[in-house]
């Protein structure tokens, strides 16, 4: 019980308070430009975070590439399992499949990995963020639209930041100190802005009936635990690597995936919003015991 309270106080509570601040901004109707904040995070915060943490050599290039592969396996496994689940229950594949595949590895997962597992956890967590971001700008758009089309993934600075960071890691090259400090400062934007945006978005979601969201969210969590167990066994992960896989697998649904559903399949958007809300609350409940008893 003491360890459980420790994790609630030191890992979960700071994240909840930051999310609550974003929620309060929405409820108090204070100015908050989600588009501008999202652009700052995607184009400045994420690349800065990638370059400052990966180039700092907190993890070696080999294990990081292995974590990228593990993240890809997770997304593919989620997609296959979720497709069968949705078909069996007669639910909309276009509406629910991409949210079920793409966990909230950025807004929630990255801060949790950093607080719970330190710099190495944050560095490994970035592998999941990169894979999920790629998924959001490909599958996250294509599935709700019902067709494959050219996406703007190649325009995302974070992709190039990862390539540069991997080259630096592989060659053992350190960034010049002024650049290192610059990227560290800019990367510091990402996590607080992501948490504020999550709280703001949760406060402004147009939620439909929650009963469907409850059973889909419960299934999503069970699927995440099962897939995490399989990936840990498959790759032989332990320690921080295992912790990152487990934490990222039990994260709630990505809010970004909802935006494309709302745009392309608006009739399913309230149900997906309810699913996101329940999934986020469920993660808050299960995170302390996961931190205490599984890692």
Render pLDDT for 192-210 as a digit per residue (tens, 0 to 9).
888 898 888 888 887 766 7
The pLDDT of residue 151 is: 61
pLDDT at position 51, please?
A: 87
Q: Domain limits of the chain? A: 33-189+205-288
Give every CB contact of residue 190 below 8 A, 6+ residues apart in sequence. 41, 45, 46, 48, 49, 106, 110
Percent of the chain with pLDDT over 90: 42
All residue ranges of the chain with pLDDT < 70 are 1-9, 150-153, 208-209
> Tens digit of pLDDT for each residue in 9-64?
677 888 889 989 999 999 999 999 988 988 888 889 888 888 888 877 778 889 99
CA nearest to 125, candidates 75, 71, 78, 165? 71
Identify the pLDDT of residue 72. 97
- The pLDDT value recorded for residue 152 is 64
pLDDT of residue 75: 97
């Amino acid at each position: 019980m003491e360890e459980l309270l420790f994790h609630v106080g030191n890992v979960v509570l700071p994240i909840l308070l930051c999310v609550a601040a974003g929620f309060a901004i929405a409820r108090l109707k204070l100015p908050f430009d989600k588009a501008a904040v999202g652009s700052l995070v995607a184009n400045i915060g994420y690349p800065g975070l990638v370059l400052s943490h990966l180039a700092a050599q907190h993890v070696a290039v080999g294990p990081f590439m292995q974590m990228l592969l593990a993240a890809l396996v997770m997304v593919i496994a989620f997609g296959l399992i979720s497709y069968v689940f949705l078909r069996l229950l007669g639910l909309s594949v276009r509406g629910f499949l991409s949210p079920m595949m793409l966990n909230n590895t950025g807004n929630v997962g990255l801060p949790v990995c950093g607080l719970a597992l330190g710099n190495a956890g944050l560095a490994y967590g970035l592998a999941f963020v990169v894979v999920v971001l790629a998924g959001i700008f490909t599958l996250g758009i294509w599935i709700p639209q019902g067709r494959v089309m050219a996406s703007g993934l190649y325009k995302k600075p974070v992709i190039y930041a990862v390539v540069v960071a991997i080259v630096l890691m592989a060659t053992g090259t350190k960034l010049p100190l002024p650049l290192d400090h610059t990227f560290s400062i800019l990367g510091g934007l990402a996590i607080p802005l992501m948490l504020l945006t999550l709280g703001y978005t949760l406060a402004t979601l147009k939620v439909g009936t929650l009963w469907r969201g409850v059973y889909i969210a419960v299934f999503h969590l069970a699927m995440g635990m099962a897939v995490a167990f399989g990936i840990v066994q498959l790759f032989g992960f332990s320690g921080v690597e295992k912790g990152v896989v487990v934490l990222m697998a039990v994260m709630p649904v990505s809010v970004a995936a909802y935006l494309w559903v709302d745009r392309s399949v608006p009739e399913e958007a309230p149900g997906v919003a309810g699913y996101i809300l329940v999934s986020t609350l469920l993660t808050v409940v299960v995170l302390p015991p996961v931190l205490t008893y599984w890692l």
